[in-house]
Amino acid sequence: MTESQRPPNSMPAATRNMPPAPPPPPPTQTQTASTQRQATQTLEMNIDKSVNRPAGNYAAPPPPGNMGHRPGTPPPMASNSQNRPKTNGPTLAQLVKEAFDKGISDLHLGVGEPPRFRNRGEIETTEYPETDKETFLSWIREVLTEEEIKRFEEYLEFDGATQYEFARVRINIFDTLKGYAMVMRLIPLKILTMEQLRLPTVFRDICHYHKGLILVTGPTGSGKSTTMAAMVDYINREMPKHIITIEDPIEFVHRSQKSLIKQREVGIHTRKFDNALKAALREDPDLILVGEMRDKETVNTALKAAQTGHLVMGTLHTNSAVKTIERILNLYSGEEQPAMRVALSEALVAVIAQGLCRTTDNKRAAFHDILINTEAVKDWVKEGKYDEITELMKQASFDGMITMNQALFNLYQEGRIDEETALEMSPTPNEMAQFLRGRV
């Protein structure tokens, strides 16, 4: 029988004699998620067409090898213990608990080194033995999956966060001359209030602005995240607002109270700060918190958000309020700077530069450089007269302004720090010496 003569519903004999094919397996979670993403993208394209908007305004996911090395929702800390080789030393969970109980801020671990703690700003050694590679790998297996470990071994960098019952922990793993190393920053689950942190009362006034740009600056480990968390917590408890945070990684976890809070982590919930910040403008926010303003694009978008009726809080790694303004403007070329000075002068609410120092009772206290954008400051920002701004900050305490030297001298007068600490932490020790001798 030829092909054209075969009845429509018949099949070749070889095919009829084959066993029936097994039913297709049910879709995996990954396949289901992929199907959902495809459906969402199709829906977005249809929405674009329906509102006459060009398609393609949504950030495409990066290639698989570029996903950002960060754990998603980490497993419980002891969940991988049965796969961990036996070691004579403590587990990672035990080390973190010991650090938490002692009030340690950072835990430093590395192959060929004993564990060390950062206590009130200073590194302290422990009596534990040197860490070998097997022990170190057993520790990272407590917080990373096998896939994440392979990714770390490929890129030799890992940045993320996880959570214990008593604290949240920020993790960075890296490779060194001696071998692998890890730094863990302990973040309390309880957010301290501005009163508990003994922050100046002007911080509360700043939180009541409805639009503009608030910058909290300082070196790594100066308490910027703690200060911003206290300010966001105050707004959350007192005001009915929509708050969106964009962080890398999420540190303090907020629960919606009077405000509605949505927290996003770069690398998990979004690809880039700038993408998330642009998207936030379409998400009906009252306050947008940007974990770090790293580049010109992020600064541009933050200024745009501040100018269009949103309150934006962000951080920079600068040591003083005036240097923060200079740092932002230096992101732009000489031709762009006059226009950016005008934009910054109109959008700025305040700049808070912060440092931490050890107190006489073996704790730590914050000291601040606070610049409030008054009418006089606006004019001087536009004209680039930064020396005049510094002089005004020394005299405008009625507006809530203060310099770091004044803040350190206040701590010295209260007996919370000694003369040596005041001089050591001062940005201008000569002026600080004059304060201490009563000449200023």
In this prediction the pTM is 0.74
pLDDT at residue 23 in the model: 52
Q: Are residues 277 and 132 located together in one domain of the fold?
A: no
Q: Are residues 119 and 208 located together in one domain of the fold?
A: no
CATH code of residue 233: 3.40.50.300
Given a cut of 50, whether residue 102 has pLDDT beyond it is yes
CATH code of residue 88: 3.30.450.90
Rounded average pLDDT over 328-333: 93
Token pair recorded at residue 430: 């000569």
Rounded average pLDDT over 223-231: 94
Q: Are residues 263 and 335 located together in one domain of the fold?
A: yes
**pLDDT tens digit sequence for 23-55:** 555 554 444 445 445 544 543 444 344 334 333
Rounded average pLDDT over 238-244: 97
Given a cut of 70, whether residue 167 has pLDDT beyond it is yes
For residue 29, being part of any structural domain is answered with no
For residue 429, being part of any structural domain is answered with no
pLDDT at residue 292 in the model: 84
Model confidence at 17, in pLDDT bands (50, 70, 90)?
very low
Give the residue, 353 or 85, on which the prediction is more confident: 353
Q: Are residues 160 and 208 located together in one domain of the fold?
A: no
Q: Are residues 137 and 231 located together in one domain of the fold?
A: no
Q: Are residues 171 and 270 located together in one domain of the fold?
A: no
Rounded average pLDDT over 410-438: 93
- Asked if residue 404 lies in contact with residue 321, where contact means CB atoms within 8 angstroms, the answer is no
**pLDDT tens digit sequence for 365-422:** 999 999 999 999 999 999 999 999 999 999 988 999 999 999 999 999 999 999 999 9
For residue 270, being part of any structural domain is answered with yes
pLDDT at residue 195 in the model: 95
Question: What percent of the chain is predicted at pLDDT more than 70?
Answer: 80
Q: Are residues 233 and 299 located together in one domain of the fold?
A: yes
For residue 253, being part of any structural domain is answered with yes
pLDDT at residue 157 in the model: 92
pLDDT at residue 5 in the model: 46
Model confidence at 273, in pLDDT bands (50, 70, 90)?
confident
Given a cut of 60, whether residue 261 has pLDDT beyond it is yes
Rounded average pLDDT over 313-330: 93
Lowest mean pLDDT among 75-84, 137-146, 424-433: 75-84
For residue 33, being part of any structural domain is answered with no
- How many structural domains compose the chain? 2
Given a cut of 50, whether residue 100 has pLDDT beyond it is yes
pLDDT at residue 294 in the model: 82
Structural domain boundaries, residue 177: 67-188
**pLDDT tens digit sequence for 119-153:** 988 899 999 999 999 999 999 999 998 888 888 98
Q: Is the peptide bond before 249 cis (omega within 30 degrees of 0)?
A: yes
pLDDT at residue 268 in the model: 85
Q: Are residues 295 and 163 located together in one domain of the fold?
A: no
Q: Are residues 180 and 222 located together in one domain of the fold?
A: no
Cβ burial of 123 (10 Å; 0-12, 13-18, 19+) is exposed
Mark which of 188, 213, 243 sits at the end of a domain. 188
For residue 392, being part of any structural domain is answered with yes
Rounded average pLDDT over 158-185: 93
